[in-house]
Structure 1
Amino acid sequence: MSFDDFYKKIGFYIIKWLIINLLLGFLGAIFVLILKKGIVHLNDLIYNRYYLAPIIGSLIMAILVRYFDFRAKGLGTDLYIKYTKSEFPLKKPLRLLISKFFATSVTLGLIGIGGLVGPLLLIGSSMAIVINKVFNYFKVRIFNSQLDYRVLSICGAAATLGPLLGAPLGGGIFASEILYKSSLDYNDLFPAILGSSFGYYFYHAFLPQPGLNIDLGLPEASLKELLLLIFVASICGIIGQSFISIFDFIHNFFKRLKIKSFLKPLMAGCIVLIIMELFKVESFINTVGINQLFFTPLREGRMIVLVLFKILLTMVIIAGGFSAAIVDTALISGALTGNLLYYIFPNIPLPVLVIIGLSATLSSIANIPLATMVIVSEIFNLNLSLPVIIGSIIGYLIGRPKAVFKYIREE
């Protein structure tokens, strides 16, 4: 290949992915904005007013899964990995996009517990494939190879994660790194970061105030504390693996139930309603609440129990067939672990323990060390500090044989 041909090819590559990611970033920001506002409105209009709102959500979810698209249930991350790495194109992407969007709105708006990361991976990926079908309809063929389809899917997912997490670099790395056990493909990574950055830009053009970013002045750990930090990270990584074991147990329980799959959301909704009423568990578990764990050690036993109940209920609704994410809950559980470890290691600053806790737990559960480092640093406005690096690497090494996402484990 001559130099002229090489640079023509590179020039076309750059222009193609710049234009596509500009479009994906704009649409991804809109989807995130509409989804989050829709969840808030459902919560205000129905969840806070009607006692049986979780049952209403269960019925809607059962109808969606039974009559519209069974792919709307669950994490979303496993299907994103499967379809993105598959040699076969995603079938009926518009149907999947609509069903997953509404299923996620219903789960978080009417059940009140869950997260958005996993569902948005699948929503963004489906959105990108729909755009390709629109291009094909008008005889505009830009994507011709399996590599192009994979990168397009990753860019769509990244275009929703960047604005959701407030992490333009981390969103792109997450969408790429989650696909592989131990490697990254630059063909995926750089366009994904572009899509994530455009999504972040457009989202904050629509909504100037960041949703998750927290300014945190993190004191650096001394060299004497290094071994202690590694020990704390190991504890949090092991807790992350316990998290997976509990999730597997609940998932297998629902899987073995001798009832129709579309009835399982009704059962999960009833369990959630009963437990939330009995123990007065308030709705919504989200990463915005993490900032409270950075500055105040939890002293009230009931508050700790409530957070643990929310974590378990998130597992129940996912196993029961609702659309929610486990990653958001992993951040909360890691932050809680770090907060509680302050009573054992009071000489380590509380913010350092919380950061290392959520970094190690997330990396242990999802096996994404690089994405964890960058996302945590971006969300909390940190330099890539020692606690973040130690937590991410130790958590990954502990969790490497196991991951919460079935498709990775079975690969």
Structure 2
Amino acid sequence: MMFIPGEGFYKKVLLYIFKWIIINLILGFIGAVMLLLIQKGSTYLIDNIYYKFFLSPIVGALLISIVIHYFDSRSSGLGTDLYIAYTKSNVNLGHSFKLILSKSFATTITLGLMGIGGLVGPLLLIGSSLGRLLLKITDYLKIKLISSELDLRVLSICGAAATLGPLLGAPLGGGIFATEVLYKSSLDYNDLFPAILGSTFGYFFYHSFLPVPGLNIDIGLPEAGLKDIFLLILVALICGLIGQVFISIFNLIDNLFNNLNSSEFIKAIIVAIILLATMKILNINSFVEVAKIQDFFVAPITDRYLLLVIILKILLTMLIIGAGFSAAIVDIALVSGALAGNLIFFFFPQLPLHLLVIVGLSATLSSVANVPLATMVLVSEIFNLNLSLPVIIGSIIGYLIGRPKAVFKYISEE
């Protein structure tokens, strides 16, 4: 029997569209503002304190420990795990404004005074908290914003997407990532399309406030020939396995700090001293911007000192997350994958460096976070590609290798 939609059907559809456009307009604006505040705050701290005072990491470590211990313990760590747990369980977030303040402060201090960090994970939690805060405000004003548990989940996802889209310069990829990271083997369209709206509005407002390019990097990727495909598959396999090694190292560090029988303050001081000692031994002023990701596309890394510094930056980022500082693992997974692709060039010099780096970062990110579709779209948007074969190969193979073990603890099989 053929379904013939009636007037009631179209009314529901129009109300649904109107509701989520309005919600995402609000979340997109607030998400863009929050991202700008964190970026401006961390930049100010880097320029005025981090570069001028050698002991700033210790000060930062103490400040973050105070926030975690006395104000809000949820402000520690990745942020992504809590985002997944709260969003999928439909549990009342509780004190969402407090969480927004504490997580934003901890993230800004980690980046600005520790010199290492990342924003993807923290922004997922901050953005989803913005969605919950909007719900509290509308409830107080007697405005019925949502009507089901599904709406509550979608609201949380839209808030997360509204901060991720502008951060990555990827209006499509930000929404897909905020949705896909919740699940291990499925994708819910009820979540996806509103999330893409939130990500797109966030991107629009962010670039209205700050009309400069985000992460968008034009690398002019050459097309892969038929003879290159099998080598690219091999490279993707290698980088997918590197992603799993990445997770194992991170889990080892995380378990080490969890089993360390000492206070949060002692853990923080230990990490700050390790960070300072490393900088002193290597005679470098800062780990901030040691190597931008586009540098991996320029030429193979032959400077052993630079290579050592980049690897240490990756390990130290894992260290500060394990110790409870507010940072992101996704950011450093991209750097790790790009580095792996760059180094593999020495074994496969017949392949263009650009291809190897793209396959490397795609496979590693997909392996670490279990987000193959988001990886394809994000990498294509960030590097101005047209869903090229290397991106697809890296994303799918990395996902297949990493599927048994993702870095985020709360991803479940659904």
Deviations 1:357-398 (CA, angstroms, capped at 9, x unpaired): 000000000000000000000000011000000000000000
In structure 1, the residue matched to 2:320 is 317
Deviations 1:152-200 (A, max 9, x none): 0000000000000000000000000000001000000000000000000
State the partner residue of 1:75.
78
2:278 aligned residue: 275
Query: Structure 1 pair 282/121, CA: closer, same or farther in 2 (3 Å)?
Result: farther
Deviates more, 1:274-283 or 1:174-183: 274-283
CA contact (8 A) 2:62 2:265 kept: no
Give the Cα separation in 2 of the matches to 1:345 and 1:195: 41
Cα distance change on mapping 1:170 and 1:287 into 2, 3 Å: farther
Aligned to 2:344: 341
Q: Say if 2:51 and 2:285, in contact at 8 Å, map to a contact too.
A: no
CA distance in 2, matches of 1:94, 1:387: 42
Write the distance in 2 (CA, Å) between the matches of 1:228 and 1:241: 20
CA distance in 2, matches of 1:199, 1:263: 39
Tell me the equivalent position of 2:66.
63
Deviates more, 1:259-268 or 1:102-111: 259-268
> Which residues of structure 2 form unaligned runs of 5+?
none
Q: Distance in 2 between matches of 1:261 and 1:59?
A: 9
* Cα gap change, 1:167 to 1:183, in 2 (>3 Å): same
Shift of 1:141: 1.3
1:401 aligns with 2:404: yes
Give 1:363's match in structure 2, choosing from 366, 376, 384: 366
Q: Supply the distance in 2 between the matched residues of 1:210 and 1:194 (Cα, whole angstroms).
A: 20
Kept in 2, the 8 Å contact 1:254–1:320? The answer is: yes
Q: Would the alpha carbon gap of residues 302 and 407 (structure 1) be closer, same or farther in structure 2, given more than 3 Å must change?
A: same
* Match for residue 14 of structure 2 among 1, 11, 17: 11
Cα contact 1:403–1:409 (8 A) shared by 2? no
Q: How does 1:166-245 map to 2 (within 5 A)?
A: 166-245=169-248
Partner-residue secondary structure (3-state), 1:406: coil
User: Could you give the per-residue CA deviations for residues 99-126 of structure 1, whole angstroms, max 9, x where no partner exists?
Assistant: 0000000000000001100000001000
User: What SS does structure 1 have at the residue aligned with 2:250?
Assistant: helix
- Asked if the contact 1:28–1:160 (Cα under 8 Å) also holds between the matched residues in 2, the reply is yes
> Partner of 1:113 in structure 2?
116
Mark the CA change 1:15 to 1:227 in structure 2 (over 3 Å): closer, same or farther: same
1:138 to 126, 136, 141: 141
8 Å contact kept, 2:290–2:309: no
The 3 A distance-change label for structure 1 pair 229 and 387 is same
- Aligned-pair identity in percent equals 63
CA distance in 2 between counterparts of 1:267 and 1:14 reads: 51
1:267 deviation in Å?
2.1
Q: Which of 373, 391, 396 in structure 1 is aligned with 2:394?
A: 391
Report the TM-score when normalising by structure 1.
Answer: 0.98
| Superposed displacement of residue 2, structure 1 | 6.3
Number of residues paired by the alignment?
411
Superposition pairs of residues 95-110 of structure 1, within 5 angstroms: 95-110=98-113
Q: 1:291 aligns with which of 283, 291, 294?
A: 294
Worse-superposed segment, 15-24 or 282-291: 282-291
CA distance in 2 between counterparts of 1:355 and 1:321 reads 31
- The one of 15, 21, 25 equivalent to 1:22 is 25
Deviation at 1:295, TM superposition (A): 1.5
List runs of 5+ in structure 1 lacking aligned partners. none
Equivalent position to 1:38, from 29, 38, 41: 41
C-alpha RMSD of the superposition: 1.5
Q: Which moved more, 1:175-184 or 1:142-151?
A: 142-151
1:368 partner amino acid: V
SS at match of 2:272: helix
Q: Distance in 1 between matches of 2:78 and 2:338?
A: 21
> What residue identity is the alignment partner of 1:208?
P
Cα 1:143–1:284 shift into 2, 3 Å: farther
CA distance in 2, matches of 1:288, 1:168: 25
Q: 8 Å contact 1:96–1:126 — kept in the other structure?
A: yes
Partner Cα distance (1:144, 1:222) in 2? 52
Question: Which AA in structure 2 matches 1:364?
Answer: S
Would the aligned equivalents of 1:62 and 1:263 in 2 still touch at CA under 8 Å?
A: no
Q: Secondary structure at the match of 1:408?
A: coil
1:128 shift after superposition: 1.0
TM superposition shift of 1:296: 1.0
Which digits, 9 at most, give the CA deviation of each residue in 1:113-155, with x for residues without a partner?
Answer: 0110000000100011101100011111111211011000000
Moved more, 279-288 or 100-109: 279-288
Question: Are residues 344 and 285 of structure 1, via their aligned partners in 2, closer, same or farther at CA, if it must alter by over 3 Å?
Answer: farther
Q: Equivalents in 1 of 2:5, 2:330: separation in Å?
A: 47
Distance 1:263 1:151 in 2: 39
The offset of 1:271, in angstroms, is 1.7
Q: Which amino acid aligns with 2:51?
A: N
CA distance in structure 1 between the aligned counterparts of 2:229 and 2:302, rounded to whole angstroms: 27
Report the secondary structure of 2:222's partner residue: coil
Pick aligned residue for 1:91 from 78, 94, 97: 94
